[in-house]
């Protein structure tokens, strides 16, 4: 159990770094943020990469790199919608 908590803490720190580097915020709703972080940790443990938990993998490793967090769609989504599809990264108000 402690290993999972450490992994989630590490993943959260990683996501915070990406957000900070790009001038974004993470989802302020703790419950949703935690769900996405757990999904990233689960996918990294299961598949070896932090695939977006809100997108379906094809099973083709090369093709699935497009949905590795942050996925290839996130910048356009944040610019247009104010957040990415997973609701992990948000444009600063």
How does pLDDT run across 47-66, given as a tens digit for each residue? Answer: 999 999 999 999 999 999 99
CATH superfamily of 2-91: Ferredoxin thioredoxin reductase catalytic beta subunit (3.90.460.10)
- 55: three-class secondary structure by DSSP: coil
pLDDT in tens, 15-52: 999 999 999 999 999 999 999 999 999 999 999 999 99
Domain spans, the chain:
2-91
- Rounded CA gap, 73 and 45, in Å? 23
């Amino acid at each position: 159990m402690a290993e999972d908590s450490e992994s989630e803490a590490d993943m959260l720190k990683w996501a915070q770094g990406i957000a900070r580097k790009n001038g974004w915020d993470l989802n302020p709703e703790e419950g949703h943020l935690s769900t996405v972080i757990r999904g990233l940790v689960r996918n990294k443990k299961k598949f070896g990469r932090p695939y977006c938990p809100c997108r379906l993998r094809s099973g083709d490793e090369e093709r699935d790199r497009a949905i590795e967090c942050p996925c290839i769609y996130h910048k356009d989504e944040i610019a247009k919608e104010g957040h990415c599809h997973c609701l992990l990264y948000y444009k600063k108000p």
